[in-house]
Chains A and B, each alone.
Chain A
Amino acid sequence: MSFFTVDGISLQFGGLKAVDDVSFSVSKGEIFTIIGPNGAGKTSIFNLISRLYNPTSGRLSFEDSDITEVPPHQIAKLGIARTFQNIELFENASMLANLLVGRHCHATTALWQDMLFMPSVRRAEKAHRRKVEEVIEFLDLQAYRDKIIAGLPYGVRKVIEVARALCSEPKLILLDEPSSGLNVEETDDMSFWIRDIRSELGITVLMVEHDMSLVNRVSDRVLALNYGKVLASGTPSEVQAHPDVIAAYLGA
């Protein structure tokens, strides 16, 4: 079995098939990109993987275990972290607090210990903070450590969301349109970071992306989606040359 497999998954909203019998698998250490026009069902696939939606049919498996029925809050602990297309940060908290929430799946202390702030809690807090500092360093976010999210620029928040996902020390990270809303330089930075996430941290990347130049620069394999169905998959150039993909993008 491979690292991460989606097997014939479908999702129906009323009469709309948002995801229609999609299958693909991602190997360890790969950067795998899903492309497709708006409304193709890309975000829905991510929501299925993070178990926010229940599939109508099909299976998901991660590291040889079936995760189709795992409750959503246990996905992070298994090693799958994600970002959101429209940024879901904790707006009224500092960046540090946001990143520390990313460590939540590694929290081991009980409620009463937290309430009394026992020495074990202090020790764990320090360990969490050390990890968070590594991520801050990695993504160059030092300037925003104590800033409240609500006041930060869009581009910075986008990076903070990636940082929060990294703080959970995932094996697989899902990035939903990491470059949307970013300017050219920010997109460049993002493409370097995505490659570093794979090469330096050894994390497998599954992303949804619209910016084709970014897709071409970082992806190993690409899957094209339209109306919830797979159109083509393969290397970036193969997929872009596929007649169905060209037709879907030109709206023909």
Chain B
Amino acid sequence: MRFIFKTDYDQDIRILKHSGYWWSYGILLAVMVATPYVLGSYMQSQLVFVFIYAIVGVALMILTGFTGQASLGHAAFLAIGAYTAGFMQSLGVPFIVYFPLAAVLTGVVGALVGFPALRLHGIYLVIATIAFAFIVEEVLARWESVTHGNEGMRVRTLDLFDIPIPRDSDAFYFLCLLVLVGVSVLALNLLRSPTGRAFIAIRDSETAGKSMGIDLAAYKVKSFAISAAITGMAGVLFAHKMTFISPEMFTLLLSIEFIMVIIIGGAFGVHGAIFGAIFIVMVDPFLTALKDDVPVLVSSIASSLGMAKETATDLRDDLSRIGSAAGLKGAIYGLIIMMFILFEPYGLYGRWLKVKLFFQLFPLYKRATFKRQKTYVKSERNR
């Protein structure tokens, strides 16, 4: 295993802690750059969604993972970014202007949403963010002069310095990758600076944070604003990827998917957001396949085991009715969230770290390595 001897402060401060990481991340980047030339267009398109979800994941990681403020309103921030892009583009504003503008606008809205967070905690804050998301959905449906209401809005092809970048092009893939990498670097920078530590302090102990000189109000609002602004950027990319946006695309279910990204991936690092995004984006085609193939498979197995033909057909129809029942997706998501919270609270990234440690320490790994040690405070002992 590798021991790292620290000899100067920069070693702690650097994002990539030692030379090995330069290699692994370099190779990862090379693979990502080569991907469009290797993978089919379907997979490439899925990867674009992975990038967009991962950008939102990074945004939520800053807010929920590091500042401890839950939100089920991120679909609304995505919508604000997306509609800003659509509307600005229709006015002839160039991408290079409306992209940052969408981020700023969404950030301002995020800061406003952050104000209730000064007084609300936990589930109450979640309810407040859901309420906010409903308001946004309603505004999008009603403000027809800008949003075209429930009819939805066409988003024209992205145009960067007069070069069109269609949604399925390699250039669009690279643009999304670039934004993801950029946003990740910003997030990592935050986390190694006083601002990021203030976020962590708020998450773990508001009382102590206050006494250490952290202005809770200011930092909660900052966290909301940053998270919203990043989500707004994702919204711009989302709008161009979809080419059509309408209010019913930005519902509570989408916000739940975003929360799942960080619960499944692990909310304590940028890696988690990316793992989670891969999982969420890939689970959808998987569920579709399941819905289409499982009933056929089960009924053919049943009939080959001697079941009467009609009963087998009935069975197939029953199963596909269950498979296409409304709300099934939500139920499966709920189940996945529960499983992760119960069995893998550190998410896929946490699992990955454990596997890595197992190989580093082999054969000395103890199962208890990640167990939290029992501690007690005196007041508990006296009871």
Does A101 have its Cβ within 8 Å of any Cβ on chain B? Answer: yes
Q: Which residue of B lies closest to A74 (CB)?
A: B213
B9 engages A105 (CB within 8 Å): no
* Complex: A85 Cα to B207 Cα, angstroms: 12
> Which of B193, B213, B378 is within 8 Å of A168, CB to CB?
B213
B243 CB-CB contact with A under 8 Å:
no
Say which one of A2-10, A24-32, A125-133, A217-225 lies at the interface with B: A125-133
Across the interface, B194 reaches (CB within 8 A) one of A85, A88, A109, namely A109
Contact partner, A73, options B192, B216, B381, Cβ 8 Å:
B216
Q: When A122-B13, A130-B9, A154-B377 are in contact, do A104 and B208 touch as well, CB less than 8 Å? A: no
- Closest residue of chain A to B4, judged by CB? A146
Query: Interface residue tally of chain A, by bracket?
Result: 35 or more
The yes or no answer to A82 lying at the interface (CB within 8 A) is yes
B residues in contact with A74, CB < 8 Å: 213
- Stretch in B36-44, B78-86, B347-355, B368-376 with 4+ CB within 8 Å of A: B368-376
Contact with A along B166-201 (1 / 0, CB 8 A): 000000000000000000001001101111111011
Cβ–Cβ contact B213 & A125, under 8 A: no
Q: Look across to chain B and name the residue whose beta carbon is closest to the beta carbon of A117.
A: B189
Contact for A125 among B193, B205, B268, B372, CB less than 8 A: B193
Shortest A20–chain B CB gap in Å is 24
Q: Which of A61-101 contact B (CB under 8 A)?
A: 71-77, 81-82, 84-93, 96-97, 100-101
Docked Cα-Cα span, A87 to B378, in Å, equals 10
Contact A101 B376 (CB under 8 A): no
* Pick from B198, B204, B212: contact of A91, CB under 8 Å: B204
How many residues in B have their beta carbons less than 8 Å from beta carbons of A? Answer: 40
- State the CA gap A2–B268 with chains docked (Å): 47
| Bound complex: CA A125 to CA B193 (Å) | 7
Whether a CB of chain B sits under 8 angstroms from the CB of A153 is yes
Given contacts A73-B210, A101-B212, contact A88 B205 (CB under 8 A): yes
Task: Write out the residue numbers on chain B whose beta carbons fall within 8 Å of the beta carbon of A181.
Answer: 377-378, 381
A50 at the interface (CB under 8 A from B): yes
* A105-B213, A151-B373 known; A125+B9 contact, CB < 8 A: yes
CA distance A81 to B379 in the complex (A): 23
Residue contact B372 to A151, C-beta cutoff 8 Å: yes
Inside 8 A of B19's CB, which chain A residues have their CB?
none
Pick the contact of A115: B190, B212, B375 (CB < 8 A): B190
User: How many angstroms between the C-alpha atoms of A154 and B380 in the bound complex?
Assistant: 13
Q: Say whether B156 faces chain A, with CB atoms less than 8 Å apart.
A: no
Q: Does A111 contact B (CB under 8 A)?
A: yes
Interchain CB contact under 8 A, A114 and B373: no
Q: Is B241 an interface residue (CB 8 A)?
A: no
* A52 lies within 8 A of B207 (CB): yes
User: Are B196 and A114 interface neighbours, CB within 8 A?
Assistant: yes
Question: Which residues from chain A contact B248 at a C-beta distance below 8 Å?
Answer: none
- Given A101-B198, A104-B197, A154-B376, also A168-B212 (CB < 8 A): yes
Instruction: Find chain A residues with CB under 8 A from B145 CB.
Output: none
Asked whether A154 lies within 8 Å of B194 as measured between CB atoms, the reply is: no
Kindly report which residue of chain B lies nearest to residue A76, judged by CB atoms: B213
- In the complex, the answer to whether B214 meets A50 with C-beta atoms within 8 Å is no
Report the minimum CB–CB distance from B41 to chain A (whole Å): 35
Q: Give the shortest distance, in Å, between A169 (CB) and chain B (any CB).
A: 11
Asked if residues B375 and A154 are in contact (CB atoms below 8 Å), the reply is yes
Interface residues in B322-380 by Cβ distance below 8 A to A read 372-373, 375-379
Does residue A236 face the partner (Cβ distance < 8 Å to B)?
no
Number of A-B contacts (CB under 8 A): 133
Which of A85, A96, A97 is the most central at the interface, judged by chain B CB atoms within 10 Å of its CB?
Answer: A97
The smallest C-beta distance from A241 to any residue of chain B, in angstroms, reads: 28
Q: Is B149 an interface residue (CB 8 A)?
A: no
- A101 with B209: in contact, given A87-B377, A126-B9, A180-B378 (CB under 8 Å)? yes
In the complex the two chains form, is B211's CB within 8 Å of A82's CB?
A: yes
What 0/1 readout, one digit per residue, does chain B (250-271) give for beta carbons within 8 Å of chain A?
0000000000000000001000
Q: Is the CB of B210 within 8 A of A52?
A: yes
A105: B residues at CB distance < 8 A:
212-213
- For the complex, give the distance between the alpha carbons of A114 and B219 in Å: 13
Closest to B209 in A: A101
In the complex, per-residue mask of A181-219: 1 if CB is within 8 Å of any chain B CB, else 0: 100000000000000000000000000000000000000
Q: Is B203 in contact with chain A by the CB < 8 A criterion?
A: yes
In chain B, positions 227-241 with a C-beta closer than 8 Å to chain A are: none
Distance in angstroms from A12 CB to nearest chain B CB is 21
Q: Which residues of A contact B379 (CB under 8 A)?
A: 85-86
Q: Tell me if A107 is interfacial: C-beta within 8 Å of chain B.
A: yes
Contact A129 B204 (CB under 8 A): no
Binding site for A on B (CB under 8 A): 9-10, 12-13, 186, 189-190, 192-198, 200-201, 203-205, 207-216, 222, 226, 268, 372-373, 375-379, 381
In the complex, besides A114-B194, A129-B12, A150-B372, 17 extra interface pairs with C-beta distance below 8 angstroms are A50-B211, A73-B214, A88-B205, A88-B208, A89-B205, A96-B12, A101-B214, A103-B194, A104-B214, A114-B190, A114-B196, A115-B190, A115-B193, A117-B193, A124-B194, A130-B9, A177-B378
The 8 closest A-B pairs by CB, nearest first: A105-B213, A76-B213, A114-B193, A88-B208, A90-B204, A107-B194, A117-B189, A181-B378
Instruction: Tell me the A residues contacting B by CB distance below 8 Å.
Output: 50, 52, 71-77, 81-82, 84-93, 96-97, 100-105, 107, 109, 111, 113-117, 121-122, 124-126, 129-130, 150-154, 157, 164, 168, 177, 180-181
17 contacts between A and B (CB under 8 A): A50-B211, A72-B210, A76-B212, A81-B212, A87-B377, A88-B207, A92-B268, A100-B194, A101-B197, A101-B200, A103-B194, A104-B197, A114-B196, A129-B13, A150-B372, A150-B373, A154-B376
